[in-house]
């Protein structure tokens, strides 16, 4: 029951920049322990805010150029876009309420 989309360099403009709702991007990697820790929280938020928030995951190993464009130096990194513009960004494994605070006032 995956509610997120895989964001790539190829679909970034369509899925993120042209999205009618705010977008939460999770920059992650399969080998990253903290990324795996927040993974279930990200999935839960995707389900809870379905229709009001789009959630995308960016695999930094597969999307190095996209990660570099966002200045990602540590993972997990969470980036929020609204109306095609960067609205918020943070890094680290955060509790659910802190992740929600990144986008809640934008929806």
Is there a catalytic annotation at residue 3?
Answer: no
Q: How many CA atoms lie within 13 A of 53 on its CB side?
A: 26
Is there a catalytic annotation at residue 100?
Answer: no
Distance separating alpha carbons of residues 17 and 35, to the nearest angstrom: 24
Q: Which residue out of 25, 32, 38, 93 is catalytically annotated?
A: 32
Under a CB-based contact definition with an 8 Å cutoff, are residues 107 and 46 in contact?
Answer: no
Q: Which residue out of 7, 23, 24, 35 is catalytically annotated?
A: 35
The residues assigned a catalytic role are 32, 35
């Amino acid at each position: 029951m995956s509610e997120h989309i895989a964001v790539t360099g190829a679909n970034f403009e369509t899925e993120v920049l042209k999205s009618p709702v705010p977008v939460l991007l999770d920059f992650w990697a399969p080998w990253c322990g903290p990324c795996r820790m927040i993974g279930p929280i990200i999935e839960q938020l995707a389900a809870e805010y379905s229709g009001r928030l789009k959630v995308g995951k960016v695999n930094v190993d597969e999307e190095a150029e996209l990660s570099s464009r966002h200045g990602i130096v540590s993972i997990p990194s969470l980036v929020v876009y609204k109306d095609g513009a960067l609205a918020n960004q943070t890094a680290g494994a955060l509790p659910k309420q802190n992740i929600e605070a990144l986008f809640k006032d934008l929806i």
